[in-house]
Structure 1
Amino acid sequence: MTSLQPFIEAAHTRAGDYSRCTPEQALVYACEDVVELEFGSREIPSTDAEALLKEICHAEDIEIPTILIARKSKSALALTYIEENVICIRGKSTTMSTLLHELAHAVVGAESHGVLFRDELARLARKYISVSYAALLHAVYSGVGLEMSPWPATAARRN
């Protein structure tokens, strides 16, 4: 079994890269970065993101957001406009983890990265990336001090 401590330390260190964010948001991004570096997730051409998102939304009984594709940006990989139910993807491709991150915002209806968002992202990652990816994400979130529901809750269907 792998020790979580190196991942937790890496997340704490990496959170400093997000100095313009709230401390919670910086830790969320840093945890996601650490897990993405360890496991990676499927790269998706931006032109295929809408069809994939529709499949996920139908399977999850989630309202389908509109997808916009914009030029690549140094400041954001993607954005979700909650009120408009729009996900804006930056660049020619994205990753499954980025797409699910933005979908989690749309599902919980919040721009923040609080416990509802983190729980939803872990649940989606468990189903659409892998159990190992989601387990590490959940553990690193918890390990850096971010509140999470118990791990078995990530297997529960929202509906």
Structure 2
Amino acid sequence: MATSAAPAAVEALLSITRAATGLADALIVDGPPGPDLSGSRRIYIGWSPGAEQAVEISQDFASAGARTRDEDLTIACYAEVRVGDKDMVLARSRVFELVAGVEIALRATNEQPEAPTLLGTVLWAHLTTGSLIQDKSSGSLAGLAFTITCHARI
């Protein structure tokens, strides 16, 4: 019996985003950034700058008898776009395009009917919050910290 749906949910989110055609040109990273920061379009699953947790979970009994539990979890994510010049409008619009690609990948389609359930690991998952950061210290950078909120029965 699973103690939490979190590990499987994160793996499924990675699988769904890596397979999404709209995100084909983005580097999908599992967890925090490593030493290779190449590429101008990146999405981090299970990490966000300034976030203390990769995933937060909350559980409670699903009903009397304590046979099952309901679990709510939020997965910290971060999308980042860098452009070489000082065109903040371009960087900002492209980072929102990246996050839209994640949101679209989480919608049910004929090819991926189980996407909203993170391939059956949760009852439902959706993008719930976002926070934009911008920087012009070397080119233009736009980053969007966002969360994927899920509900599971374990």
TM-score bracket for the superposition, by shorter chain length: under 0.3
Structure showing the higher helix proportion among its residues? 1
- Superposition TM-score, scaled by structure 1 size: 0.23
